Structure 1
Amino acid sequence: MSNHDKTRARERRRAISATTIGTAIEWYDFFLYAAVAGLVFRELMFGPIGPAAATIVSFLTVGLSFLFRPLGAFLAGHFADKVGRRTVLMVTLLMMGAATTLIGLLPTYAGAGVAAPIMLVVLRIVQGISAGGEWGSAVLLAVEHAPRNKRGLFGAGPQVGAPAGLLMSSAALALMNIIAPGDAFMEWGWRVPFIFSLVLMFIGWWIRVGVDESPVYEEMAADRAHDAKNPIGVLFARFSPLVLTGALIFAANGTVGYMTTGGFIQKYATNELGMERGDVLWAVTASAAAWMVSTAFTGWVSDYIGRKRSLVIGFIVQAVGVALLFPMVNTAELPKLYAALIFLAVGLGLTYGQIGSLFAEFFPASIRASGASITYAIGAILGGAFAPTIAASLREATGSTDAITVYLMAATVIGLAVSLLIRERNGIPLGHEHEDVQASGHFVWEPAPVKM
């Protein structure tokens, strides 16, 4: 191997490490809030409005941040196409870490009155803007560094960051439940994982600061003739059907995934089924580990069988997981809770690991960051934003979990149907000199793109 090849391989390893670890830190912050919303904030921040209303409002604050993810995606996508992916990643990391740390220092309603939940909501909005801006830049930095035959694997790096973040946040809360059991957890134990985010933020900064910019962006920066003057305008003028298609695929995954990442299962199993909080948190942690492995496997295997085929298989497995979820959870038996969450996590990974490379291969280079970020953010609103709130409302209205299962199954079937409409684009050229190829051949009724 020549010195140039060794340097290139080193740059690629650094890029995938930085995007994976940095994204894991971001999602640790984001999912930590979602878990604590149902376990803690419903009582300490919203308790005066009554138990049922407090539950719904606490989950609404989880979903509220998703409404601001498109703002983060619009801003980050625009600037990632204009000034580079790496710069955007540094800004989003600082925003998320600062907001999470401040949440850990907030007073409760008992100490500050209505000002406490207002400050909480503001900081959650900052988290939403940061999360909306993080994903697209991280995925493109990884995928655009990747060899053509390993884009799925490299793109799965930032995707692995999500289950890794869930694993870290659930494990941190489970550990604090041991260190500060009972009332101590409600008094101060929940704060420690939030404040620890400050340490993680500096670790993430140190890891990311040495990463090289995406080679595709560097080529575009050297040849501004291919620079889109208004990336977002071009995106919606020419690729709106593609944005909606990608958003529906991601929404189908997110709707189901936010049963755990949005905190609904944690709250339901502890408050309604009477299971021990620590047991539930460890079960979610185990499912996050399964989700992480499944996500990495899916990215790797999609390089061989294609993004489309892996999605179709994934949604079928996810449908089985949805059908089994509540019948097993409702037994309130710990082994069945583990089995239900782990099996569901495998299905989620099979519909998640290929999303990064799929979206990177969807859009032309000059608008790729805007396209990937905005599609992802819209999908998050359609799917993850209010899934816990909808689930809680369905449970409250019907008195059972059957309606929730129908809701989750409908989302999964939509994802499967839409996946069947897209054309396989695995391996198309990503460089800015091939934008004509990148702009065509997205759906089964169109001619296949030429793979140069």
Structure 2
Amino acid sequence: MNTKSAAVATGEARASRRVASAMLIGTTLEWYDFFLYGTAAALIFNKQFFPSLSPAAGTLAAFSTFAVGFVARPLGGLVFGHYGDRIGRRNTLIVSLLMMGIASTLIGVVPNYASIGVWAPVLLVLLRVVQGIGLGGEGAGATLMSMEHAPANKRNLYAGFPQMGTPAGLVLANVVFLTTNAFMPPGAFDAWGWRIPFLLSAVLVAVGLAIRLHVEESPSFSRVVSQHGVQTFPLREAMRVGVGRMALTLGLMIANSAVAYVFMVFTLSYGTKQLDYDRSFLIVCVSVAAVIWFTTIPFWTGVADRSGRRVMFVGGSIALLVWCLVFLPLLGTGSVVAALIAFLGMGVIVPITHSVQGAIIADTFPAAVRYSGTSLILQVGAILGGGLAPIISSAIVGESGGVAGVTVYLVMVCLLSLGSAMALFRRIEPTDSRASSLPADAPTGVRS
């Protein structure tokens, strides 16, 4: 019996790792598409789709199309969350991957402003909306699939695998962007070569689809079905955890999102146009930081499983606030060494809170309504944090000519998230600092 039990445990462990790996690969491909757009918005789209505007106005317009994807994400979160709680996580994740890949591929063939005039940015925005809807269904679903397949004592670790897809997708997008640029004649990349990384999405989505088709449904959702616990309106039931707790959970994730998009996206435009850094150098800096981000997530999620996520998250929030005070001043020195240090610091600090925020949000809701509730928090937080950060930062620089105001903005956002986290953790029962007060499969109607 012991041998049989060991074999079953080994098989379950392999299945959990297979699901986590599949979620990591899928989220990497979706974030590749999303970040590829962000890089192009910072460096290319102002000239291709808004040539009649001034450089500053064109950059702001390009970042506005980038933000449209964030505005669309709550719609995707609501739709995919609803059906993910009603028909299952697996099928909705397959659809989200297809939407993201098809939209990205079509961006690669959209004519520019010189060819079709105003219809060029219109088509760009429409495809960005489709991207946002697809990603809105991905973030929560992948985290839930991985976490709900996880062993009980490794929920943070497994929930962190989809979080690793964010920096992995960023690195993949930047590597493809840089490689394509490096092998093209001068001027050719800006003219038409930028389309190649988008067209590559067609190949990548086929790979991701083949992997996801072999993933089994979440055990937690299967139990909900077997117990006849599927909700007709899961989002309405998810709200039963309480508006106060949901607001604090939303608040704690905003800083990480805002800071990450300033250092990943805004600095590419600001650094090349205002500080005269080489474009390739900045992309390499962001990519190196993302590699550190990717590789340290398993360490931080392991710490959370062993020692509790609360102290780690609060400490990470404080570190993020401190680094925001020095990040842009270091970049503003014009020194490549100082710039590299600034980006490396972000690579070390950002993953501390990012690694567990998905698990914190998911643990807020019982299994029957977890997809809907988690999607709502993640996507609204993404708008308030990452979606607005490049636009706000660009507007501040355009108005003042400097980035001191951007630093103040980031510090204020960090203070908001730090205060939200501390207030939230005081509200949650302290019986287990590694998880929330809601058990993994708590029935709907449980309030914190």
**Band the TM-score falls in, shorter-chain normalisation:** over 0.9
Whether the 8 Å CA contact 2:36–2:170 is kept in 1: the answer is yes
Helix, strand or coil for the counterpart of 2:209? helix
Helix, strand or coil for the counterpart of 1:362? coil
Separation (CA, whole Å) in 1 of partners of 2:108 and 2:302: 37
Alpha-carbon deviation of 1:181? 5.0
Whether the 8 Å CA contact 1:144–1:430 is kept in 2: the answer is no
Task: Indicate whether 1:53 and 2:60 are aligned.
Answer: no
Whether the 8 Å CA contact 1:155–1:356 is kept in 2: the answer is yes
Deviations 1:98-142 (A, max 9, x none): 000111111111111111111000000001101111011100000
Task: Indicate whether 1:31 and 2:35 are aligned.
Answer: yes
Separation (CA, whole Å) in 1 of partners of 2:345 and 2:298: 16
Q: Cα RMSD between the aligned structures?
A: 1.6
Separation (CA, whole Å) in 1 of partners of 2:204 and 2:156: 27
Task: Indicate whether 1:257 and 2:260 are aligned.
Answer: yes
Task: Indicate whether 1:344 and 2:351 are aligned.
Answer: no
Residue type at the aligned position of 1:235:
A
Given the alignment, which residue of 392, 411, 415 partners 1:413? Answer: 415
Residue type at the aligned position of 2:177:
L
Whether the 8 Å CA contact 1:252–1:383 is kept in 2: the answer is yes
Matches within 5 A, 1:188-267: 188-224=192-228, 226-261=229-264, 263-267=265-269
Task: Indicate whether 1:172 and 2:176 are aligned.
Answer: yes
Separation (CA, whole Å) in 2 of partners of 1:314 and 1:339: 18
Question: What's the counterpart of residue 279 of structure 1?
Answer: 281
TM-score, normalized by length of structure 2? 0.94
Identity of aligned residues (%): 36
Matches within 5 A, 1:121-200: 121-180=125-184, 182-200=186-204
Deviations 1:157-205 (A, max 9, x none): 0000001011111111121221125311102221111111111101101
Separation (CA, whole Å) in 1 of partners of 2:374 and 2:362: 7
Alpha-carbon deviation of 1:297? 2.1
Question: What's the counterpart of residue 353 of structure 1?
Answer: 355
Matches within 5 A, 1:12-161: 12-161=16-165
Task: Indicate whether 1:315 and 2:317 are aligned.
Answer: yes
Helix, strand or coil for the counterpart of 2:333? coil
Separation (CA, whole Å) in 1 of partners of 2:160 and 2:439: 17
Separation (CA, whole Å) in 2 of partners of 1:161 and 1:227: 29
Question: What's the counterpart of residue 439 of structure 1?
Answer: 446
Given the alignment, which residue of 289, 292, 296 partners 2:291? Answer: 289
Deviations 1:185-242 (A, max 9, x none): 1022211111111111011011111111110000111111x22221111223543222
Whether the 8 Å CA contact 2:20–2:146 is kept in 1: the answer is yes
Alpha-carbon deviation of 1:427? 4.4
Alpha-carbon deviation of 1:252? 1.3
Alpha-carbon deviation of 1:14? 1.1
Residue type at the aligned position of 2:103:
A
Question: Where has structure 1 moved over 4 Å in runs of 4 or more?
Answer: 427-431
Deviations 1:6-48 (A, max 9, x none): 3212210111001011001100100110111010001110121
Given the alignment, which residue of 372, 391, 394 partners 2:393? Answer: 391
Separation (CA, whole Å) in 2 of partners of 1:142 and 1:152: 10
Residue type at the aligned position of 1:439:
V
Task: Give structure 2 stretches of 5+ with no counterpart.
Answer: none
Deviations 1:335-375 (A, max 9, x none): 22111011012221111000122122111111111111111
Deviations 1:81-108 (A, max 9, x none): 1011111110000000000011111111
Question: Greater CA deviation, 341-350 or 235-244?
Answer: 235-244
Task: Give structure 1 stretches of 5+ with no counterpart.
Answer: 442-452
Q: How many residues align?
A: 437
The alpha-carbon distance between structure 1 residues 267 and 435, as it changes in their structure 2 partners (threshold 3 A), is: same
The alpha-carbon distance between structure 1 residues 238 and 430, as it changes in their structure 2 partners (threshold 3 A), is: closer
Residue type at the aligned position of 1:203:
V
The alpha-carbon distance between structure 1 residues 238 and 150, as it changes in their structure 2 partners (threshold 3 A), is: closer
Whether the 8 Å CA contact 2:307–2:434 is kept in 1: the answer is no
Residue type at the aligned position of 1:381:
I
Separation (CA, whole Å) in 1 of partners of 2:175 and 2:286: 9
Question: What's the counterpart of residue 434 of structure 2?
Answer: 426
Separation (CA, whole Å) in 1 of partners of 2:411 and 2:85: 36
Residue type at the aligned position of 2:94:
M
Residue type at the aligned position of 1:56:
L
Whether the 8 Å CA contact 1:246–1:376 is kept in 2: the answer is no
Alpha-carbon deviation of 1:440? 4.0
